[in-house]
Every structure is written in structure tokens, then in C-alpha cells.
């Protein structure tokens, strides 16, 4: 360590500690008198008489000279007068290549002993998005190994997409397919607000040992406090940013951003924010762009991100879905009708879009994709007539062509979890089957 670094380190050390005392606990909100701290600072509360331990909390606001704190853990042992100590800095996590292949919690701590000793670096979980003028343009496609996406909604390195769906229509399966089949250097998967039972199901059944090899899974289950769920999303994004800054192409998948918004709503209501649309507080709509804009390209690497959005009753215009759709670079809508027919991935082609496909796909590829969408649209417009037998063959050439091609298109879009296709194989298959005038 140089003399300047040593001097800087010494200057940052305070010669004394300041403490506060807990005065009130209401639900998950903790009020304390002191210490001197800023919003976002990490604090600890000393609890337990026989076996003293520390509970991590974070400063989320102030009220009448009182400090408002939210816990990362349960608050059972907190009592009036419990000592509160501030660290004078926000939460930081330790990140290193040894984390790859492991499952960690919302603070980056491993659930098991798989993480080996190695070089770690402390990083903040709440970072600024890249400078918009320093972001390179998205110009290179990323192969995801999912024919429906690579073929009709080509994704570029550094693009951010939403996966909009109700419950039980195959979001987790689609994420597992992308994690196993994409050509990304690393996958970071955040499971936010999931049921505890589903975490192991996803890791062992959907992802599997092969998929976990180049993946870091961050888990914050539904039973954990609201702040822990938000920190799970922040931690996963910070881990992806760390490896992006190493020059890697990272895929970040978050399931789901809706539960992050719900967690922020809990915190906002607890500290006295006024509820707005459907009870969501203003801080929710401030958090979403701050979180989602952190992914994407920078000068050395990329984060290609997929954020799942739960839509109540398949309502695409509910507040969170509407807000997220306006921030991201495209969206994939999963259709319950397709899922009920056993068609997976259940992507509704006519309701989905990739906003950067025109910049990364060849003219031939775009022509094939437009032709397939046109056939599906024509078939959908006339489906009622076709189903009841009211359409007479030969009445309309476009409808005749759509009827012939529709089964082939649906077979192309359907894919099993174990199937894998490269980007070029997908385009080649499209060219063979759906070139105009082809068989």
C-alpha cells in the first residue's frame, strides 16, 4: 500500500463511534433516536441478551428528527433502547469469479459451501447507470438458442427485454432455456419473491448441473423482508455489472421485477408515502428506471437483460407492466391459450416486439420474419371463420396460404427444453421453410 493510500485510509477512520437507540417498531419500520446517518447507509442493531448478535438495517428516511430503518432480517429480538450503530456507507457485497456456479442470497452470501477461496472485490449494490453518451450502439446479435426469439425477435448484445406473463405460463422454463443455450459468457439469474419450494426446483430441474456451471443465482424468497427483496435485485445487477466491467458478455435474468415493485411499495407505504395508481407509491416509479437502466452496453462489455413482469389477469396495461414496457427495448408476451395447448415457449408473436431487430438482422432475415408474422396475422384475423368451416377455399389467396403455412410455423415456434439451436441454424431453417414461393 502506498503512503497516499495509507494516508487516505487513516483519514477515513473516525476516532469515535456514535450510537442511536431504538424508540419504536411498527411492523417492519424501526424508529431510532440517532445515530447521525444518511439515507442508504447500512446500520447494525445489537440484539440478544444471552447471545448478542447484530441485525443489519438500512436508513430509508427520517421523521421528526428520528431515523427510519428497515431490516434485512427478522426483527423479533429488537427491544426499546437497542443500540444502533452506523457504518457511514451503503451496503457493499464481495464479488469474485469463485461465485460462478453458486446460489447466493440477496446480500451475496452463499447458501452452501460451494464458493471456494479466491480473489474478491467489494462493490456497492446501488450504482449509477452508464453514461448515455458512452454507451456503444447495439450492433451485434446474441444467440439465445430459442428459435422463436432468435428467428422473430432477434436480441442484440446489451438489449433489455421484458417477459410479460401471468402465473404458470412458462417464464421459468424460458429463462432456463436461455441460460443453457445462449452464447453469453455468464448468466446471472435473480429469483425475487419466489416461493422457497420453487428455488431448488428451478436450480436442479430447469437449470440443471450443466446450466449452473456458468451461472450465478441470486435468491430472495417471498418470506424475506421487503428490503431484502429489493437488495436481491440490486445485488444481482451489481454482480452482472462487475463481470461486464471485466469485458464479459453477461445475461441478466430477473424474475420478477413486479415483486421488486411490490417490495418498494411496502417500504414506501411504511414510511408514509401517498399511494397512487393501484396503491403503488411514487418511489416505485422512481426505482424502476434506476434499476433497469443499469443493464446494457458499456465500453468494455454488455449486459443483455430479461425482466419478467407478472400481469394480473393477463392485463398488459396494469401500472408496472405499462411503466416497464416504456423503459425496455422490447417485450415478449407469453400467452396462456398457447400454454394450455402445450405449446412452449408460449410466445404470442403478434403481441411481442424487439425494438433493435432492424439494426442487427440482415435484410433476408427481416424479410422472413415479416413474412411469418404476416401469415400469422392473416390466420388470426380469419380464425373464427376457418374454425367453424365458414371459409371457402379459393376465396382469398392470402388466407389460403396462411392456412397451409400455419401448422408449419407453429411447429417451428415450438421447442422442447432440451433442444438447442444456434442463431445460424435458426435462420437457415426459416429460409428453407418460409422463403416466399418455397415449400
Dihedral sign for Cα atoms in the order 157, 171, 179, 410: negative
Q: Please report the pLDDT score of residue 331 as a whole number.
A: 94
Cβ distance 308 to 163 under 8 Å? Answer: yes
SS3 per residue for 241-304 = HHHHCCCCEEEEEEECHHHHHHHHHHHHHHCCCCCCHHHCCHHHHHHHHHHHCCCEECCCCEEE
C-alpha to C-alpha distance for 104 and 220, rounded to whole angstroms: 9
pLDDT tens digits, one per residue of 10-38: 666 666 677 899 999 988 889 999 898 99
Fold of 364-434: Substrate Binding Domain Of Dnak; Chain:A; Domain 2 (1.20.1270)
- Main-chain phi, psi angles of 66, to 5 degrees: -100, 150
Cβ distance 300 to 156 under 8 Å? Answer: no
C-alpha to C-alpha distance for 164 and 307, rounded to whole angstroms: 8
pLDDT tens digits, one per residue of 167-203: 888 888 899 999 999 999 999 999 999 888 889 889 9
Cell of 14: 473516525
Q: What is the mean pLDDT of the chain?
A: 89
End-to-end CA distance of the chain: 70
C-alpha to C-alpha distance for 15 and 42, rounded to whole angstroms: 19
Q: Please report the pLDDT score of residue 263 as a whole number.
A: 94
C-alpha to C-alpha distance for 285 and 265, rounded to whole angstroms: 10
Fold of 18-90: Elongation Factor Tu (Ef-tu); domain 3 (2.40.30)
pLDDT tens digits, one per residue of 215-262: 999 999 999 999 999 999 999 999 999 999 999 999 999 998 999 999
Give, in words, the CATH class of 93-360: alpha beta
CA 295 to chain centre: 10
Helix (H) or strand (E) holding 400, with range, is helix 397-413
Cβ distance 361 to 370 under 8 Å? Answer: no
Our CA dihedral for 317, 318, 319, 322, rounded to 10 degrees, sits at -30
User: pTM, whole model, 2 decimals?
Assistant: 0.91
**CB contact burial 385-420 (16+ within 10 A = b; e otherwise):** eeeeeebeeeeeeebebbbebbeebeebbbbebeeb
- Mean pLDDT split into 10-residue runs, the chain, 439 residues: 68 73 89 91 88 90 91 84 90 90 90 65 90 91 95 95 89 90 94 88 88 93 92 96 95 94 92 87 94 93 95 76 93 92 93 94 95 95 87 88 94 92 94 75
C-alpha to C-alpha distance for 321 and 316, rounded to whole angstroms: 6
Q: Please report the pLDDT score of residue 120 as a whole number.
A: 83
Cβ distance 94 to 110 under 8 Å? Answer: no
Half-sphere exposure of 295 (CA within 13 A, CB side): 33
C-alpha to C-alpha distance for 105 and 42, rounded to whole angstroms: 17
Contacts 24+ apart (CB under 8 A), 44-47: 44/84, 44/85, 44/87, 45/69, 45/71, 45/78, 45/82, 45/83, 45/84, 45/85, 46/82, 46/83, 46/85, 47/77, 47/78, 47/79, 47/82
Q: Please report the pLDDT score of residue 363 as a whole number.
A: 94
* Residue boundaries of the structural domains of the chain: 18-90, 93-360, 364-434
Q: Please report the pLDDT score of residue 12 as a whole number.
A: 64
Cell of 71: 431490516
Q: Please report the pLDDT score of residue 185 as a whole number.
A: 95
Dihedral sign for Cα atoms in the order 136, 141, 142, 147: positive
Q: In angstroms, what is the C-alpha Rg of the chain?
A: 25
Q: Helix 226-244 and helix 282-292: axis angle, to 10°?
A: 20
Nearest one of 214, 186, 174, 147 to 303, comparing CA atoms = 186
C-alpha to C-alpha distance for 61 and 187, rounded to whole angstroms: 34
The answer to whether the bond into 110 is cis (omega within 30° of 0) is: no
Amino acid at each position: 500500500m502506498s503512503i497516499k493510500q495509507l494516508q487516505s485510509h487513516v483519514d477515513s477512520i473516525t476516532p469515535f463511534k456514535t450510537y442511536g437507540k431504538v424508540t419504536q417498531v411498527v411492523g417492519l419500520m424501526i424508529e431510532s433516536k440517532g445515530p447521525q446517518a444518511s439515507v442508504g447507509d447500512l446500520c447494525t442493531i445489537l440484539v440478544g441478551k444471552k447471545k448478542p448478535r447484530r441485525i443489519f438495517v438500512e436508513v430509508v428516511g427520517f421523521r421528526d428528527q428520528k431515523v427510519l430503518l428497515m431490516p434485512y432480517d427478522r426483527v423479533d429480538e429488537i427491544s426499546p433502547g437497542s443500540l444502533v450503530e452506523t457504518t457511514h456507507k451503503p451496503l457493499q457485497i464481495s464479488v469474485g469469479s469463485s461465485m460462478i456456479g453458486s446460489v447466493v442470497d440477496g446480500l451475496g452470501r452463499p447458501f452452501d459451501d460451494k464458493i471456494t477461496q479466491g480473489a474478491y472485490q467489494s462493490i456497492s449494490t446501488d450504482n449509477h447507470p452508464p453514461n448515455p453518451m458512452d454507451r456503444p450502439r447495439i450492433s451485434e446479435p446474441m444467440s439465445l438458442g430459442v428459435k422463436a426469439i432468435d428467428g422473430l425477435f432477434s436480441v442484440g448484445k446489451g438489449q433489455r427485454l421484458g417477459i410479460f406473463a401471468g402465473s404458470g405460463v412458462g417464464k421459468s422454463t424460458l429463462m432456463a432455456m436461455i441460460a443453457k443455450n445462449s452464447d453469453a459468457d455468464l448468466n446471472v439469474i435473480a429469483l425475487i419473491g419466489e416461493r422457497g419450494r420453487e428455488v431448488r426446483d428451478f436450480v436442479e430441474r430447469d437449470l440443471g448441473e450443466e446450466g449452473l456451471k456458468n451461472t450465478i443465482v441470486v435468491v430472495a424468497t417471498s418470506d424475506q423482508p421487503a428490503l431484502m427483496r429489493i437488495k436481491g435485485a440490486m445485488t444481482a445487477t451489481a454482480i452482472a455489472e462487475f463481470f461486464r466491467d471485466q469485458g464479459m458478455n453477461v445475461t441478466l435474468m430477473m424474475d420478477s421485477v413486479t415483486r421488486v415493485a411490490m417490495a418498494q411499495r411496502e417500504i414506501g407505504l411504511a414510511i408514509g408515502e401517498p399511494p397512487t395508481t393501484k396503491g403503488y407509491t411514487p418511489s416505485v416509479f422512481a426505482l424502476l428506471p434506476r434499476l433497469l437502466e443499469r443493464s446494457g452496453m458499456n465500453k468494455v462489455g454488455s449486459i443483455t437483460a430479461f425482466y419478467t413482469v407478472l400481469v394480473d389477469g393477463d392485463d398488459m396495461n396494469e401500472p408496472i407492466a405499462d411503466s416497464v414496457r416504456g423503459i425496455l427495448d422490447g417485450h415478449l408476451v407469453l400467452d396462456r391459450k398457447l400454454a394450455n395447448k402445450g405449446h412452449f415457449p408460449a410466445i404470442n408473436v403478434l403481441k411481442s416486439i424487439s425494438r433493435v431487430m432492424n439494426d442487427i438482422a440482415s435484410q433476408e432475415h427481416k424479410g422472413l420474419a415479416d413474412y411469418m408474422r404476416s401469415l400469422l396475422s392473416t390466420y388470426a384475423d380469419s380464425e373464427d371463420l376457418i374454425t367453424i368451416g365458414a371459409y371457402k377455399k379459393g376465396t382469398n389467396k392470402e388466407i389460403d396460404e396462411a392456412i397451409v403455412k400455419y401448422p408449419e410455423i407453429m411447429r417451428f415456434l415450438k421447442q422442447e427444453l432440451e433442444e438447442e439451436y444456434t442463431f445460424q441454424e435458426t435462420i437457415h431453417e426459416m429460409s428453407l421453410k418460409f422463403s416466399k414461393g418455397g415449400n
